[in-house]
A and B are shown apart, each in its own frame.
Chain A
Amino acid sequence: MMNKLTIKTCMMSVLLASVLMTSGCASTFEPWVKPYERDNLADPIMAMNRNPVSFSYTMHAFQAREGARGAEGGAGGGCGCN
């Protein structure tokens, strides 16, 4: 079962998301980086997950040997680590 801190965190996150996504300024917002200024950001070397098949395997390889999990992508069930 989730503890109180977890529930608070989840609710605060969702509430914050609601405020951000429904605020009136979302539709009238003037972006400080214009669409024509995004060449660098669109370059594949700036992608956080450039190769999904390799990324998910690598995360699985680490996750199977570490106690921590989550917030990094991740792969399917089973670990092959017994």
Chain B
Amino acid sequence: MIKRSIIAFVLLELLLVLAFSVRAAVLPQERADVMYHSYQGDGMDIKGPSILLRKQIGNKFSVSGNYYVDMISGASIDVLATASPYEEERTEHSVGVDFLHNKTLMNLNFTSSSENDFEARSVHFGISQDFFGDLTTLSMGYSKGWDEVGKRGDENFLEHADRQQFQLGLTQVLTKSMIMGLTFENISDEGYLNNPYRAVRFADPSSERGFRFETEVYPNTRTSNAAAINLNYYLPYRASIYGEARIFSDTWGIDANSVKLGYIHTFGDDWILDFRVRHYQQDSADFYQDLFARSAEFNFRARDKEMSTFTNLSIGLSVTYEYQFSQSSWFSKATINYELDHLRFQYDDFRNVLADGPVGEEPLFEFSANVTRIFASLWY
């Protein structure tokens, strides 16, 4: 009933937007991107390609397609503690269409993701509108997702989870050199939300190591809210600074916040340098513990390190070389890009069970990771 009310409100909103359109929106730029990505850290090596194509059809439609692959070889702390290293591949396909009608821009996207133990499908509808003399852009979105969760080595294991997301965004031109963005997103999950490979540990003095592992148990619903503010400021020379602050809270008791600051510098017309720093902090879920006192101590229990209390700090650098084609060319411009982020995670209540130490007093876990993107983009 409540969900219906919200959906009705959003639909009413869309009708109002259509009825009171005040300015022509524009279709996204036609471009092609080919990227190689790599994540290395905590024994995980994930890499693969991503290809994005976007083409305009007439003056009203723009279509896009994205092909993305993760090739994963895993030997993270979670895997080494309770299972064996593994290799797998995830393939994701996305198709979308943008539609310009009565000066309003709408988009519809469908995404499917497939791996040997996980299938996910999602559909997204979004709408955006410029108004107040083009100084303000309001955007809204709704997504619905369906997951099928399997488990390697257990052909009979099959669980489901559904997800829906509401997004609301506002972009505001503040001055001729400053722009601000506000974003709010609500996400609700229902179904099997565990990771079937993760386990909790509990004290067992009779075992050789003094503890044993058992399956995690999560609640089968989760609702989260996140809100973010962005600011971009153009400096007196051709450079800019930007910042983002985000807060997050969910019904599992996780509270988090992140702050990002960046500086973009240009050298001539061809080179763009982007330097950024990001800090993230979260408090653990209510049902998280590194070590439970006994087996099945509580109804819900997790020892997934993404549910623990931790911070991470990342430092990133991007270098872009841009080439402008002549006006008679089929292409308008091209870029070659290299991006690297170095991350450092430090956990406050997740211990390294592979290290020596009395049970529950092992060293706290920490690790570093590098996230690399190398890609070329072509506008036409």
Q: Report which A residues bind B (CB closer than 8 A).
A: 1-3, 5-7, 9-11, 13-15, 17-18, 20-22, 25-27, 29-33, 35, 37-38, 40-41, 43-46, 48, 51-54, 57-58, 61-62, 64-72, 75-78, 80-82
Contacts and interface: CB of A to CB of B under 8 A. Distances in A.
B179 A46 contact: yes
A32 B173 CA distance: 9
23 contacts: A5-B225, A7-B5, A9-B184, A17-B138, A18-B16, A21-B129, A26-B131, A41-B176, A45-B234, A48-B171, A53-B50, A57-B373, A65-B306, A66-B282, A68-B226, A68-B246, A68-B254, A69-B226, A71-B228, A77-B120, A80-B115, A82-B196, A82-B197
Given A21-B138, A57-B373, A77-B111, A67 B337 contact: no
A53 B52 contact: yes
Contacts of B168: 10, 13-14, 17
B307 to A, nearest CB: 6
B22 interface: yes
B195 interface: yes
Interface residues of B, number: 111
B325 interface: no
Contact of B9 (A10, A43, A82): A10
Contact of A45 (B46, B92, B175, B240): B240
Centre residue among A38, A68, A72 by max chain B CB count within 10 A: A68
B215 interface: no
Given A21-B129, A68-B280, A33 B228 contact: no
A29 B133 CA distance: 6
Nearest to B187: A70
A72 B248 CA distance: 11
A54 B175 CA distance: 28
Contact of A65 (B134, B196, B266, B345): B345
A72 B90 contact: no
Given A13-B168, A67-B306, A71-B185, A58 B373 contact: yes
Contacts of B74: 82
A77 B132 contact: no
Nearest to B251: A3
Given A31-B133, A66-B306, A17 B140 contact: yes
B223 A6 contact: yes
Contacts of B175: 33
B258 to A, nearest CB: 7
B42 to A, nearest CB: 9
A82 B248 contact: no
B282 A76 contact: no
Contacts of A37: 176
Contact of B248 (A22, A26, A41, A70): A70
